[in-house]
Amino acid sequence: MSDSLRLEVDLDKIKYNAARIVELCHSRGIAVLGVTKGFTAIPQIVLAILAGGVDGLADARMENILELRNEGCLESITLLRIPRLSNVDNVVKYCNVSVNSEVAVIQALGQAAEKMGVDHQIILMVDVGDLREGIMIENVLDTVRKVEGVEGIRLVGLGTNMGCFGGVLPEYSNLNILVNLGKMIENRLGIPIEVLSGGGTSSLLLVEKGEMPAGINQLRIGEGILLGTDTTNQRIIDWLKNDAFVLKAEVIEVKRKPSVPIGNIGRDAFGNIPEFADVGIRNKAIVALGKQDAYIEGIIPVDKGITILGASSDHTIIDITDTTRKIQVGDELAFHVTYSGLLSVSQSRYVKKVFRKD
């Protein structure tokens, strides 16, 4: 495979981001799980995150977790996607902790744990408003009563997800619901709640501002460590490195062309009806990168004055009219990636991963 289409990964910047986030969170009594799903748990990146001092790892994909274990990873790993009933044996065997919301699955996890002679730790997910996974607030106590006696299971805490589906922002008010539920369980049922997991990167802003409710003692951080960004809060985190990942692609055509296609317009290769603004003849480049390689809406040109016009499976068309750089066939263009862009590029076998240290 040619190296002309590649994702360059600066491991030192990832380690730096992890260390800064850990430093901040530890100063507030909050543990940090390094989330590895955003880059398909590539071992070199995992090691950089661990070197930054995270308290454990977390991933949503059992395939990633299996690869980590096969690579000899002995760190505590939390399964972030509520388990499939059909996969409870693997969850117990390879994960120290799993997040859960279904009593039937917890019971099955308990049965698997008993067969293996181990205790499996669970965190009950509570839906405080984002409407992804989780028990509704009014049903938490009843659910705890149902699972507290399940053999092979140890309830260690409560967790919640913020921002990932409904876009709901973490706030003192909604995260404090988790704190109050934890106190209620301890007071009424006598069950100690060791972990209150208050979301991911979007919750970091509350920590920075000193507004995180006392009692929240775990965050699950992926995007902040990897990219130094916070998509939910629409911000670049200015005290972190934002360029640890750079995607590079080769220019395969440079031509002056009209800005509007010529002829009757039907649907493109993906079934969409494209729309174009007539801004005259433009200088355009094509790079050897397409939708089969990356989520195009998740990549951003590094050079100023360059605009992505669109892409097909294998070609990305770029307007280079307004850049001061003289771009020729054979040149490389560099792109920053968003979290969605990183997700797609990381799992593409067409994109070579190149690791470096400063």
Tell me the per-residue pLDDT of 112-158, one tens digit each, with 9 for 90 and over: 999 999 999 999 999 999 999 999 999 999 999 999 999 999 999 99
Does the fold of domain 245-356 match that of domain 11-236?
Answer: no
What per-residue confidence (pLDDT) applies to 2?
55
Mean pLDDT of 236-244: 98
Q: Delimit the domains of the chain by residue range.
A: 11-236, 245-356
| Bridge partners, residue 355, by sequence | 9
Pairwise CA distance, residues 1 & 6, whole Å: 10
**Looking at per-residue confidence, does 105 or 163 come out higher?**
105
Is the distance from CB of 317 to CB of 310 less than 8 angstroms?
A: yes
Report the C-alpha dihedral over residues 137, 139, 140, 144, rounded to 10 degrees. Answer: 180
CA distance 9 to 45: 8
| HEC string for the chain | CCCCCEEEEEHHHHHHHHHHHHHHHHCCCCEEEEECHHHCCCHHHHHHHHHCCCCEEEECCHHHHHHHHHCCCCCCEEECCCCCHHHHHHHHHHCCEEEECCHHHHHHHHHHHHHHCCCEEEEEEEECCCCCCCEEHHHHHHHHHHHCCCCCEEEEEEECCCCCCCCCCCCHHHHHHHHHHHHHHHHHHCCCCCEEECCCHHHHHHHHCCCCCCCCCEEEECHHHHHCEECCCCEECCCCCCCCEEEEEEEEEEEEEECCCCCCCCCCCCCCCCCCCCCCEEEEEEECCCCCCCCHHHEEECCCCCEEEEECCCCEEEECCCCCCCCCCCCEEEEEECHHHHHHHHCCCCCEEEEECC
248 is catalytic: no
Tell me the pLDDT tens digit for each residue of 72-99: 999 999 999 999 999 999 999 999 999 9
What is the pLDDT, as a whole number, of residue 161? 94
Strand partners for 281: 258
Least confidently predicted of 173-187, 251-265, 313-327: 251-265
pLDDT of the residue at 163: 87
Residues of the chain above pLDDT 70, percent: 99
Q: Please give the torsion angle defined by the CA atoms of residues 29, 208, 53 and 298, in that order, rounded to the nearest 10 degrees.
A: 140
Question: Locate tokens 């909050």: which residue?
Answer: 30
Query: What does the pLDDT look like over 10-67, one tens digit per residue?
Result: 999 999 999 999 999 999 999 999 999 999 999 999 999 999 999 999 999 999 999 9
pLDDT of 1 higher than 60: no
Q: Which position among 15, 37, 93, 183 bears the catalytic label?
A: 37
Give the CATH number of domain 11-236. 3.20.20.10
The architecture in CATH of the region 245-356 reads: Beta Barrel (2.40)
- Give backbone dihedrals phi and psi of 56, rounded to 5 degrees, phi first: 170, 180
Is there a contact between 195 and 157 (Cβ–Cβ < 8 Å)? yes
Residue 121: the pLDDT is: 98
Average pLDDT, the chain: 96
The predicted model scores a pTM of 0.95
pLDDT number for residue 52 = 98
Higher-pLDDT residue of 285 and 131 is 285
260/152: higher pLDDT: 152
